[in-house]
Homo-oligomer: A and B are copies of this chain.
Amino acid sequence: MADEIRALVFDVFGTVVDWRASIARQVETLARVRGLTVDGTAIADAWRGLYQPSMSAVRDGTRPFVDLDVLHRESLDALVEQHGLGSLDDADRHALVLAWHQLDAWPDVVEGLTRLKRKFILGPLSNGHVALQVGIAKHAGLPWDVILSTDLYRTYKPRPEAYQGACKLLKLAPSQVMLVAAHNNDLGSAREQGMRTGFVVRNEHGQGQVIDQKAEQDWDVIADDFVDLAKRLGA
């Protein structure tokens, strides 16, 4: 199988980057400057909690495509009062939206990607738009070959067009492309489109994590982290 695969495309939030600790830290830093005391981790969890529902209307076509900065801002505006950030002005809220462009990678990511890059085409296949992914890559030193965000197809995962669009842009058959994700549902959607699947265990939600603690299907590869993934794929 590894010989047929030409490209690895990656889910990013949770799989490549630790959004929770990164957002918590950036929120607390800004709050401190503004003289506010907040629970950054609770805010990160609440913000991320609005992520999936925020995309629904775009996915089902009842809302024209808007990118994740727009959705992140709407979600932030919805939670600030409850979390002690209601006094933040427009510029501060914009700065927090941009915090999602500056997320830290899990410790194994750069080493794993650097090894995988010798053998495969690498790119994020994320609901975070192209500019956001470029920002994360510059911040975290991710050696992507190409950015394949779903804004290129003006939709969001798990819509089939998102997976199909990435394969088409690479001019590869789905069986030549593996999605790597820490989320069983994302992998299930990729498999439905004929793609290969690689599961990596992450603990993105912290101690209270109840989902995605193990592989729920016989994914093509199941790895402990990106270095282990490289090993298993012969890279």
Contact = CB atoms under 8 A, between A and B. Distances in A.
A178 B133 CA distance: 20
Given A130-B169, A131-B170, A170-B131, A121 B138 contact: yes
Given A147-B146, A147-B147, A169 B121 contact: no
Main secondary structure of the interface of A (DSSP, over half): helix
Given A121-B138, A138-B121, A130 B146 contact: yes
Nearest to A67: B171
A129 B133 CA distance: 20
24 contacts: A69-B171, A121-B138, A129-B169, A129-B171, A130-B146, A130-B170, A131-B169, A131-B170, A131-B171, A131-B172, A133-B146, A134-B145, A134-B146, A134-B170, A137-B145, A138-B145, A144-B145, A144-B146, A145-B147, A146-B146, A146-B147, A147-B147, A151-B169, A152-B169
Interface of A: 69, 121, 129-131, 133-134, 137-138, 144-147, 151-152, 169-172
